[in-house]
Structure 1
Amino acid sequence: MPAEPAADLEPQSNVAEYSVSEISGALKRTVEDTFGHVRVRGEISGYRGPHSSGHAYFALKDERSRLEAVVWRTTFSKLAFKPEEGLEVVVTGKLTTFPGSSKYQIVVEAMQPAGAGALMALLNERKLKLEAEGLFAAERKRPLPFMPRVVGVVTSPTGAVIRDIRHRIADRFPLHVLVWPVRVQGETCGEEVAAAIDGFNAIEPGGPLPRPDVLIVARGGGSLEDLWGFNDEGVVRAAARSAIPLISAVGHETDWTLIDHAADRRAPTPTGAAEMAVPVRADLVAALAALDARASAAVSRTLQAERRAVANLARALPSPDILLSLPRRRLDEAETALGRALRFYAGERRRMLGETGALLSPARLESAIRDRRADLRHAEGAIVHALSTALARHRHRLERLDASLRPHIVSARSDQARLRLAQAGERMDRAFRDLTTRRRTALSGAWRVAASLDPRQVLERGYAIVRGAGDVPITRAEDLKPGTAFELEFARGHRRAAIATAGEDEAPRAAKPSRRKASPLQADVQGDLF
């Protein structure tokens, strides 16, 4: 009889059977229902920064156990404290399992350092890191403007800090205050403060929104956790790269944050920051008044001293009459000498004109014109003779050259040579005609000049020449004495005349009415012509 299978021999069990997925899902639900919201304290281990997906993976451990942790991307950006290797933290989240590897982990929803000691250690570590980068160096800090026109304030718009700053600025020096509202506590505090500092620096000068001349980052007092947003690395870097001078006024005088080291100035309180930012207007007015009074007094003293110096110099100077006496005398002597010199000069000029006029008699002019005409005729004859001689000489030379040329050369170049000879002859004839024309034109111009100088042309216009003894022209009426005989030359003819009287005792002879009264000399001449 064959044996039965071994399976039939095993005893049957009533234990429920699960698949791997079913047991994993049951465990996941059990863990999540039991540990739905827990707080776990431990040291961060294996943190290498956020993954490319934006999620962060690390582990929490203590001296005996290890718990895997994950921070999803949406939560990671909201964490007030970012994970750091070796940092002891307290995380809040829920436990869950990862069925793919049979592991359980905590999904972190919030994270904070485990106590003040850890915060101080993190703060000190961050301070040393930023200080090593030179963000706290004294040479990076800029001086505050003495009299800003616009003050930018980064703080909460609803707190007492902004009211204190506004009231203090209004009391000291009223000006324009721009407020960038931010949260001064909480998870997003650091990001908002850094964005506000960068936003103020991004305002363009001269735009619709005025660019601040100085910034104030202010917050009231609080615990280390309350002020932790101002220890954020992003806030410190924003304060260090700010092109606008920045005043940090976070907390009370005993509270120190990292932004205090990066700012250009630190104020103990927000009110102190307002006092640093703007001067006291009343003090400035008083100082200006004092400077104005000192300047006025200095100017007054300087003017008095200058007046005294001028008065002393004036006493040492001679009077104006003494200073001007010598120039006045020289001026009088020059005036007298000038009159004598003018009379002498006028007499000399009259004498020279008389001598020149005597030389310019019609006979002399006619003689000069005849000489010039003779010279021109002689020059014309010489030019014509010279041109004729030169032309005959060149023609004779060309004829001899033509006769001396060999027959075979003449036969080879006869046409061209005859053409060139004909052209040369034409050019010489043309040059002779042009030169003759120019000479005749010059001679005609000389004739016209000579005709214009002919005194008979002047006599044709109604003038007459008066000549005395020796054919000397008489140019002045006082030279005609009673009984003086003289000759009048007209355009056509001569007349002799004599002066009968001086012309003052006799009445003029009857004559044709004239438009102007004749002089006594003219009347005597008309009456005594013979």
Structure 2
Amino acid sequence: MENTRKDDSLRNVAEYSVSEISLALKRTVEDAYGHVRVRGEISGFRGQHASGHCYFALKDDRARIEAVIWRGAFSRLKFPPQEGLEVVATGRLTTYPGSSKYQIVIESLEPAGAGALMALLEQRKRKLAAEGLFADERKKRLPFMPKVIGVVTSPTGAVIRDIIHRISDRFPVHVIVWPVRVQGETAGSEVAAAVTGFNALTPEGPIPRPDILIVARGGGSLEDLWGFNDEAVVRAVASSGIPVISAVGHETDWTLIDLAADCRAPTPTGAAEMAVPVKAELEANLARLSARLKAAVSRDLERRRQHTRALSRALPSADQLFALPRRRFDEAGGRLMRGLYITTQRKRLRFDGKRLSIATLDRRIAELKRRAGQCGGRLPVVYLGLVHRLRVRFDRDAARISARARLERISLFKERLAATISRKDRAMDLRKERARSAYEQCIRLVESLSYVKVLERGFALVRDAEDRPLKRAADLHPGQALRLQFSDDSAGAIATGKPLEKQERRKRGAPAESGSQGSLF
């Protein structure tokens, strides 16, 4: 009787198909373990599948669980999985009905413990070193006396106060702080963006471009400093056109940014000392060099003066030097009058012997006319002879040049003409292309300088009733008709009150201006 009742009860249990029981188990597991964190060692990792997904297992000393990372989640991982690496996986549990297995669908991975972090750090260090990012030949020298220093650090910590205090004590210069988070998941991306942003500044812009950068943070554990081992930070520092000083942690701490930077400081205070010299020491050194220069100039002048005196004693006196020339001058002066008198007498005798007369001039003119007539009579004969010789030479040259030679010469000239025409076409195309490029560049320059671009960023241009722009709030008065120009259209407005003074705004508790994360202070 008892067996009969048991058989009857089994017949009343609901029946499930294999698919139904598999789906029921899948829903139960997913509802109970919708979001879990599992710690274990990666086993059976063979890289991404052809579809982009990854299949492996997480294990410890007593159990094993299958794991999968879909292609979309794999692209967002901070570091790639590796065989034998101990990790903490965050995801959800589910089952695979096709093989009656349960698995974890991983959404994020983190190294488990300092050992895993050190292994990942060594791997990343070898990879970046192979690319030459740590090579000494690419490092730049620090400027001796920078005018502007950029600091990438947290604006609320003691590090920035120590840096500014030490720079003020040694050599006060302009310091620009780019506030970033120095710990957490976004620390690496913010530091990389800050270094890139400093390099994007121009010397002529409203914010001066720094001559040197300091990336600073206080000491901490390996996990605290992990943001400065980010690959994006290392690449940004390595590609920086501005020399970078790394001052992350204490002297015993090291990160990958220390290897990529142009110089590493043991502490943030040491970075400030590397960046600027001591003004008092420079002034003292300058005074010492100035005193040495004056003493050297005085000694050199005295030495030259003594040398000149010694040379002057060896030279003869002025009377001795000019005695012989003076005597020659006196003798020449005595002979001058006599020679002038004799020369005058000779010229007078020659002139008296050949006096000019009209008859003499007539004879001279007649002789010249006769010679001119003789030359004119010989001119036609000479001209005809010259023409005859040129004609004979021309006929001889024409006889040597054959018809074939003339055709070849004509063909050569045609080829030269065609080459010249082709070069002309290419030159015209090149000239047009250059003119088109210059025209397009001018258009881009005009668009970048146009105030319409400023209006598209959310600003508005205020004009009065006479269409004159208003630049100051003090120019407004209540009831004044205004015209607001936006990027797409304009609208009318009426001024409802006078502008508040600065002190009155502070009394009323007007909110202070504050920049968002990543702005420049």
> Shorter-chain TM-score category?
0.5 to 0.7
Matched, 1:229 2:259: no
Matched, 1:302 2:303: no
Q: Distance in 2 between matches of 1:171 and 1:115?
A: 42
Answer whether contact 1:154 1:181 (CA < 8 A) is retained.
Answer: yes
Tell me what 1:15 maps to. 13
Picking from 140, 143, 146, the partner of 1:145 is: 143
Q: Return 5+ residue gaps in structure 2 as ranges.
A: 1-7, 379-521
Tell me what 1:280 maps to. 278
Residue 147 of structure 2 aligns with an amino acid whose one-letter code is R
Tell me what 1:253 maps to. 251
Tell me what 1:345 maps to. 343
Answer whether contact 1:78 1:187 (CA < 8 A) is retained.
Answer: no
Aligned 1:44-443 pairs, distance under 5 A: 44-47=42-45, 58-71=56-69, 81-98=79-96, 102-204=100-202, 206-357=204-355, 360=356, 365=359, 369=362
In the superposition, relative to structure 1, how do residues 12 and 247 fare at CA in structure 2: closer, same or farther (>3 Å)? Answer: closer
Answer whether contact 1:80 1:187 (CA < 8 A) is retained.
Answer: no
SS at match of 1:59: strand
Q: Distance in 2 between matches of 1:352 and 1:109?
A: 128
Q: Distance in 1 between matches of 2:45 and 2:168?
A: 51
SS at match of 2:89: strand
Q: Encode CA deviations 1:68-105: one digit per residue, 9 max, x unaligned.
A: 33456776676555433321112234323355665433
TM-score for both structures, normalised by structure 2: 0.62
SS at match of 1:275: helix
SS at match of 1:307: helix
* Alignment RMSD: 3.8
In the superposition, relative to structure 1, how do residues 376 and 300 fare at CA in structure 2: closer, same or farther (>3 Å)? Answer: closer
In the superposition, relative to structure 1, how do residues 327 and 371 fare at CA in structure 2: closer, same or farther (>3 Å)? Answer: closer
Q: Distance in 1 between matches of 2:285 and 2:227?
A: 42
Deviation of 1:345 after TM superposition, in Å, equals 1.4
TM-score for both structures, normalised by structure 1: 0.61
SS at match of 1:144: coil
Tell me what 1:3 maps to. none
Matched, 1:38 2:32: no
Q: Distance in 2 between matches of 1:131 and 1:261?
A: 9
Answer whether contact 1:239 1:246 (CA < 8 A) is retained.
Answer: yes
Q: Distance in 2 between matches of 1:210 and 1:161?
A: 23
Q: Distance in 1 between matches of 2:369 and 2:20?
A: 150
Answer whether contact 1:91 1:110 (CA < 8 A) is retained.
Answer: yes
Answer whether contact 1:79 1:187 (CA < 8 A) is retained.
Answer: no
SS at match of 1:148: coil
Q: Distance in 2 between matches of 1:58 and 1:168?
A: 53
Q: Distance in 1 between matches of 2:225 and 2:366?
A: 126
Deviation of 1:310 after TM superposition, in Å, equals 1.1
Q: How many residues align?
A: 370
SS at match of 2:196: helix
Deviation of 1:171 after TM superposition, in Å, equals 1.7
Residue 104 of structure 2 aligns with an amino acid whose one-letter code is I
Answer whether contact 1:231 1:257 (CA < 8 A) is retained.
Answer: yes
Tell me what 1:490 maps to. none
Q: Encode CA deviations 1:132-178: one digit per residue, 9 max, x unaligned.
A: 44433333333222222222222222222122112211221222223
Q: Encode CA deviations 1:4-45: one digit per residue, 9 max, x unaligned.
A: xxxxxx999322344666544533342233324433111123
Q: Distance in 2 between matches of 1:39 and 1:45?
A: 17
Q: Distance in 1 between matches of 2:248 and 2:87?
A: 25
SS at match of 2:12: coil
SS at match of 2:40: strand
Tell me what 2:473 maps to. none
Residue 265 of structure 1 aligns with an amino acid whose one-letter code is C
SS at match of 2:266: coil
Residue 152 of structure 2 aligns with an amino acid whose one-letter code is V
Q: Distance in 2 between matches of 1:189 and 1:262?
A: 17
Q: Distance in 2 between matches of 1:122 and 1:12?
A: 57
Deviation of 1:123 after TM superposition, in Å, equals 2.5
Q: Which shows bigger deviation, 305-314 or 175-184?
A: 175-184
Q: Distance in 2 between matches of 1:72 and 1:375?
A: 120
Residue 307 of structure 1 aligns with an amino acid whose one-letter code is R
Q: Distance in 2 between matches of 1:143 and 1:156?
A: 26
In the superposition, relative to structure 1, how do residues 376 and 50 fare at CA in structure 2: closer, same or farther (>3 Å)? Answer: closer
Deviation of 1:251 after TM superposition, in Å, equals 0.7
In the superposition, relative to structure 1, how do residues 12 and 109 fare at CA in structure 2: closer, same or farther (>3 Å)? Answer: closer
SS at match of 1:221: coil
SS at match of 1:184: coil
Tell me what 1:28 maps to. 26
Q: Distance in 2 between matches of 1:361 and 1:130?
A: 112
Q: Return 5+ residue gaps in structure 1 as ranges.
A: 1-9, 388-530
Q: Which shows bigger deviation, 37-46 or 54-63?
A: 54-63
- Quick one: higher RCO (CA 8 Å, sep 6+), 1 or 2? 2
Q: Which shows bigger deviation, 47-56 or 81-90?
A: 47-56
Answer whether contact 1:204 1:211 (CA < 8 A) is retained.
Answer: yes
SS at match of 1:147: coil
- Which structure has the larger Rg? 1
Aligned-residue identity in percent: 69
Residue 324 of structure 2 aligns with an amino acid whose one-letter code is L
Aligned 1:472-491 pairs, distance under 5 A: none
SS at match of 1:84: coil
Residue 211 of structure 2 aligns with an amino acid whose one-letter code is D
Q: Which shows bigger deviation, 49-58 or 212-221?
A: 49-58
Q: Distance in 2 between matches of 1:371 and 1:165?
A: 107
Residue 233 of structure 1 aligns with an amino acid whose one-letter code is E
Q: Distance in 2 between matches of 1:376 and 1:133?
A: 100
Answer whether contact 1:156 1:182 (CA < 8 A) is retained.
Answer: yes
In the superposition, relative to structure 1, how do residues 371 and 64 fare at CA in structure 2: closer, same or farther (>3 Å)? Answer: closer
Residue 151 of structure 1 aligns with an amino acid whose one-letter code is I
Answer whether contact 1:201 1:243 (CA < 8 A) is retained.
Answer: yes
In the superposition, relative to structure 1, how do residues 50 and 146 fare at CA in structure 2: closer, same or farther (>3 Å)? Answer: farther
